[in-house]
Structures are given as structure tokens and as C-alpha cells.
Amino acid sequence: MTGSSGSDKFVKLAFENAAVTLKLDQIVALKILRPVVKSGKKYAQIVSSVRAIGLVEAPVVTPDRKKPGMYFLLDGHLRIEALKDLNVNEVECLVSTDDESYTYNKRISRLAAVQEHRMIMRAVDRGVSEDRIAEALGLDVATIRRRFRLLDGICPEAADLLKDTPCPMKVFDILRQMAPMRQVEAADLMIGQGNFSTMFANCVLSATPEKQRVPIAKANPGSPTGAISEQIARMERELASLQSQVKSVEETYGVDNLHLTVAKGYVAKLLSNARVVRWLIQNRQEYLPELQSIAEIEKIGGSREAAE
């Protein structure tokens, strides 16, 4: 966006307009990767992806002001290492106008399962074979097919709620055993608790009434699922009630804390007056110890720790 005629206010571009092709020995890494990084699954996937389809996201560099022709690497350390291992000597890079690596390396948004599913669907729609996707991601074809069918049996509302959450694939297998409305309730509960584990999803499933489940093969006879379901249902109700109470307290905590602090200060000021203390001793002795204990509180809300 540019300013109007005569205006000196412009939006600063984050990158230069044109990418540059650099030799790898022109790029200076700002951090040293530990040897264990290369033995990890993430690095293996990057190497497989670069080998199969090339570099998808260009590394980000910024010029070294003291050494012309040299560049500092802001983002893409694993990609650069993968290129070195694959004997690639050059790479196309984005040139940043900001030399602060914090911007690129400290705010990482992990790819959610739903987002990954949609990327795979888009790739298949464009004619990319499952074998090639599996090779690019370093996974087997069966896993790719399972991720492709991730949202089969999941209602759109629940899928939309979970699209940006770190929800593992196994949780979607559990959600498929619930009716659509129960899927939405389960998604809301997981988001509210910040818990997307398979164990938590199984607990929600156990607490789901039969009429809100999708008919599946009967469980093993003699299993105590009825009693467990009843206990978990009660636990779920209590958990929801507790969550509501916590939210209510959070809404008024700041104001209540301020009121208590002001009241404590007022009581302390009153007790600093000898005439007030003398009147209490003569007329309301039972009030004096309580007022003194309030005035001596060092920190609002800290009495519990002191008692322990």
C-alpha cells in the first residue's frame, strides 16, 4: 500500500521484491543444529520431501552488512542442511528487510491434522499420486490414505471447531462413533479443557448415551461399561460445572481483588488510630482480633499458602 500524493507514509515491505539464488557457502547459519536433530522424524520428512518434489518453501536470509555477498540465514536451517546432504549447491532464497531472526523462529504454528488432511486432498485433486505424497512426507501409503479419509463420518461443525487444534488422528476415529450433535459437544469440551488426548476423547465416548452413539459392533460381554459410563457421565457434568464456576470467578477476580485490597488498607488505617482501637476494646472486643488479622494480611489470596 502506498500513500496518497505528497504523503511520506508507506508500508514497509518485509521482503525484497525479487528472490536471489545463492550458493550454500554464501549462507551463514545463525544457530548450530545439534547432531540429534538429523536423526529425528521431522528432518527425515524434510529430506524426503526435498528429494521428491524439491524445496516448497524458500529459506529466508538477510544480507551481511559487513561482508558483501554473504547472507545470514534467518529461517530454514533444516532445509539448508537437507540440501547439503543431498549435494545441492544452490538455493533460491527470500531476502528479508528485517534482520531479526526472532520473527521467524520463535512463533511457529504447527500443522493441524485437519489442515494436513485438506492439503493432501488438494494435492490428490491436482493429480499427485498417493505414492508421491507418501514419499514427499516420509510416510507409508496406508498412512496417507488414512489421513485422506480423516473427516469421513465427521460432521462439518465438529471439523470446523477442530481445524486449528493439535487433535491427533485417533481422536477422529473416536468421534466417528458419536452422533453429529455429540461430536460437536465433544469438540467443544476438548477445546474448553484444552485437552485433545485420545484418553480424554475415550472418556467422553464412554460418557455418551447409547442414543447419541453410532451403532457399531457390540462390546465384549461382561465388560463393566455401564458402571464406568455412569461414573464418567457424572464426572463430565461436574467438570462442566467447575469450568463454568472458574470462568465466573475469572470475570470478577480483578475487581474483587481490588476491592479487598482497598478494604484491607482502610482497616489498617483505622487501626493505626489509637482512639479507634480504644473504642473497640471498650465496646466491641470481639471485632478487634478479626480486624487486626485483616490488617496484617501481607498479600491478598496468600493466606492459603501461609496456612500450608
Kindly report the pTM of this predicted structure: 0.43
Rounded Cα gap, residues 7 and 3, in angstroms: 5
User: What pLDDT, on the 0 to 100 scale, is given for residue 70?
Assistant: 92
Phi, psi at residue 202, to the nearest 5°?
-65, -35
pLDDT digits (tens, 9 = 90+) for 216-246: 644 344 444 555 666 666 777 777 777 777 7
pLDDT digits (tens, 9 = 90+) for 19-46: 899 999 999 987 777 878 888 877 887 8
Higher pLDDT, 2 or 251: 251
Higher pLDDT, 9 or 306: 9
Could you give the 3-state DSSP secondary structure of residue 239? Answer: helix
The mean pLDDT value of the chain amounts to: 78
pLDDT digits (tens, 9 = 90+) for 99-117: 655 445 444 445 577 777 7
| DSSP 8-state secondary structure symbol assigned to residue 31 | S
User: What pLDDT, on the 0 to 100 scale, is given for residue 40?
Assistant: 80
Closest by CA position to 94, among listed 137, 135, 63: 63
| % of the chain residues with pLDDT over 90 | 13
Count the Cβ atoms, other than its own, within 10 Å of residue 265. 11
pLDDT band at 16 (very low <50, low <70, confident <90, very high): confident
Is the separation of the CB atoms in 102 and 60 below 8 Å?
no
User: What pLDDT, on the 0 to 100 scale, is given for residue 111?
Assistant: 59
User: What pLDDT, on the 0 to 100 scale, is given for residue 183?
Assistant: 93
| Pairing verdict, β 60-63 and 20-23 | unpaired
pLDDT digits (tens, 9 = 90+) for 181-199: 999 999 998 888 888 888 8
Residue 302 has pLDDT above 60, yes or no: no
